[in-house]
Amino acid sequence: MAHSGSEIQPENDEERLEREHFHKVLRAFSHYKKHAIERVSKSQTDFHALPERHRKMLPDFLPQLGKIRTCIDHNYEVLKLIIEQADDIFENKAHGPATDSDLHMPVSTFDLDKVKTTLRQFVRDWSEDGRYERDQSYTPIIEEIQKLFPGDQCNVREVSVLVPGAGLGRLAFEIARRGYMCQGNEISLYMLFGSNFILNRSYGVNYLTIYPWVHNFCNNKSKEDQIRPVHIPDTDPSTLPTSALFSMAAGDFLEVYKDPDSWDCVATSYFIDTGHNILAYIETIYNILKPGGYWVNLGPLLYHFSDIAHESSIELSYDVVKRIIKDFGFEIVKENQAMPSTYTHNQKNMLKYEYSCIFIVCRKPERPHSNGTLDYESS
Ligand SMILES: C[S@@+](CC[C@H](N)C(=O)[O-])C[C@H]1O[C@@H](n2cnc3c(N)ncnc32)[C@H](O)[C@@H]1O
């Protein structure tokens, strides 16, 4: 399955930044073990600082830390497999070898958190444990696409579906598996490395074991919960017929998709709140849809850049977003404002975030505004 980047250019500042970022992400994967073990060492140090009478009451504590270390070792083995395959991820783009400064670029806690997020996203997208989340978020989207473009009324191979913010690619994969022409788009190299690995290097079902909850030291009901294994992938991606029309495209959705009137459907799951400007996302979705095309969306409004220093963010409530959707020219054909769903949730953990998501289906009219934007007259 092809992962495509943009055309090769001679290295300018932008290319240099991309190269540095590429190697920084690889370094974050490589540093995972050291970082995760440091956290275990802290627990060990804190344990030894307890009064002896208390330590004696916890005979299983140090053996448990040993098990946690073993789980981290296993995770690291899987992460190494992922980065081994990362070098040739893009069919039309090469990142030069790491320079000395790339190799010494610091890896932040933020970068390492993204590696842990990638492990959790594997559960959501590619494990049996993630099925209940996929049933909550992906199934309503897929069923809606099948209702809008039914196989007995159209040739689904000619129906183009774009999935921006595709994560590890399961939603896009499932749409392609049902015969549609589907492209996932993703900006994060953490996710792209992960999806490239799982989609292109598949050896069957559940052949890999990860321990995604091993970093959760809090809210465990049993100590076994922290070291609970998760097997991936629950379905073998290589069973997708070679005739399937499925691809992944790397890059910023707003930059990659500029051709107007080109997609029959855009499907977004937990995506529209990830940008600096939600209006730009809605505007782009409107512009790239063919007249008569549909946008199917499910997700919350978490606004990822909200409260991040030096990052702009416009946080709009749903009633305003809904007005904006209509102002751009969409017709709202279906809406449910209370779809319960969780995101990369550890089912055994005492802490649970549940979103009451928006599910909305919008249609671009056959005779839309010329460019999807409105002219406002000044008074
Ligand atoms: C919250 S995750 C949702 C992933 C997946 N759709 C799901 O439901 O599990 C949002 C995804 O959007 C990606 N993303 C954020 N901004 C993006 C952009 N401008 N273009 C493409 N992808 C983007 C993130 O990297 C992340 O993988």
Query: How high is the mean pLDDT in each 10-residue block of the chain (379 residues)?
Result: 55 84 94 98 98 98 98 98 86 71 84 98 98 98 98 97 98 98 98 96 92 98 98 97 96 98 98 98 98 98 96 98 98 98 97 97 85 49
* d(C-alpha 311, C-alpha 67), whole Å: 40
Which of these, 31, 35, 15, 29, lies nearest to 99 by C-alpha position?
Answer: 15
Task: Check pocket membership of 252 for ligand 1, CB cut-off 6 A.
Answer: yes
Measured from the CA of 343, which atom of ligand 1 is nearest?
9
Asked if 82 and 28 touch (Cβ cutoff 8 Å), the reply is no
Give the chain as a 3 state SS string. Answer: CEEECCCCCCCCHHHHHHHHHHHHHHHHHHHHHHHHHHHHHHHHHHHHCCCHHHHHCCCCHHHHHHHHHHHHHHHHHHHHHHHHCCCCCCCCCCCCCCCHHHHCCCCCHHHHHHHHHHHHHHHHHHCHHHHHHHHHHHHHHHHHHHHHCCCCCCCHHHCEEEEECCCCCHHHHHHHHCCCEEEEEECCHHHHHHHHHHHHCCCCCCCEEECCCCCCCCCCCCHHHHCCCEEECCCCHHHCCCCCCEEEEECCHHHHCCCCCCEEEEEEECCCCCCCCHHHHHHHHHHHEEEEEEEEEEECCCCCCCCCCCCCCCCCCHHHHHHHHHHHCCEEEEEEEEEEECCCCCCCCCCCCCEEEEEEEEECCCCCCCCCCCCCCCC
Non-local (6+) Cβ contacts of 235 within 8 A are: 126, 205
pTM of the model as a whole? 0.94
Distance CA 113, CA 117 (A): 6
Contact between 128 and 164 (Cβ < 8 Å): no
Q: Is there an atom of ligand 1 within 6 Å of 141 CB?
A: no
For the CA of 188, the nearest atom of ligand 1: 25
- Closest ligand 1 atom number to CA of residue 125: 9
Taking the CA of residue 254 as reference, the ligand 1 atom at the shortest distance is 19
Residue nearest to atom 4 of ligand 1 (CA): 167
Angle between helices 61-84 and 189-200 (to 10 degrees): 80
- Tracing tokens 């913010």 back to the chain, one arrives at 165
Residue 214 backbone class (left: φ over 0; alpha: ψ -120 to 50; beta: rest):
alpha
For residue 13, the model assigns a pLDDT of 83
Number of the ligand 1 atom closest to the C-alpha atom of 268:
6
* Residues listed for the chain: 379
How far does the centroid of ligand 1 lie from the alpha carbon of residue 367, in Å? Answer: 30
pLDDT attached to residue 173: 98
The vertex-128 CA angle with 124 and 132, nearest 5°, equals 60
Q: Are 248 and 2 in contact (CB under 8 A)?
A: yes
Measured between alpha carbons, how far is 184 from 311 in angstroms, rounded to an integer? 26
Residue 359 Cβ inside 6 Å of ligand 1? The answer reads no
Alpha-carbon distance of 372 to 360, in angstroms, equals 19
Query: What integer pLDDT is reported at residue 110 of this predicted model?
Result: 93
> How many angstroms is it from 249 CA to the middle of ligand 1?
12
User: Does 341 contact ligand 1 (Cβ within 6 A)?
Assistant: no
| Whether residue 118 has its Cβ less than 6 Å from ligand 1 | no
User: What's the fold here for domain 11-363?
Assistant: Rossmann fold (3.40.50)
Q: Which of 188, 191, 195, 196 to mutate to test the pocket of ligand 1 (most atoms within 8 A of CB)?
A: 188
| Separation of CA 190 and ligand 1 centre (Å) | 11
Nearest to 322 by CA among 336, 312, 343: 336
**Residue 350 C-alpha to ligand 1 middle, in angstroms?**
26
| C-alpha 164 – ligand 1 centre gap (Å) | 7
- What six digits make up the tokens of 263? 């997609």
For residue 163, how far is its CA from the centre of ligand 1 (angstroms)? 9
Q: 167 CB less than 6 Å from ligand 1?
A: yes
Which residue bears the tokens 């069957």?
204
CA-CA distance, 355 to 343, in Å (whole number)? 8
Instruction: Measure the CA–CA gap between 301 and 271, rounded to whole angstroms.
Output: 9
Q: Find out whether 68 and 155 touch, Cβ atoms under 8 Å.
A: no
- Whether ligand 1 lies within 6 angstroms of the CB of 191 is answered as yes
Domain spans of the chain, in order of start:
11-363
Q: If you measure from the C-alpha of residue 252 to the centroid of ligand 1, how many angstroms do you get, rounded to a whole number? A: 10
Q: Which of 114, 268, 271, 311 to mutate to test the pocket of ligand 1 (most atoms within 8 A of CB)?
A: 271
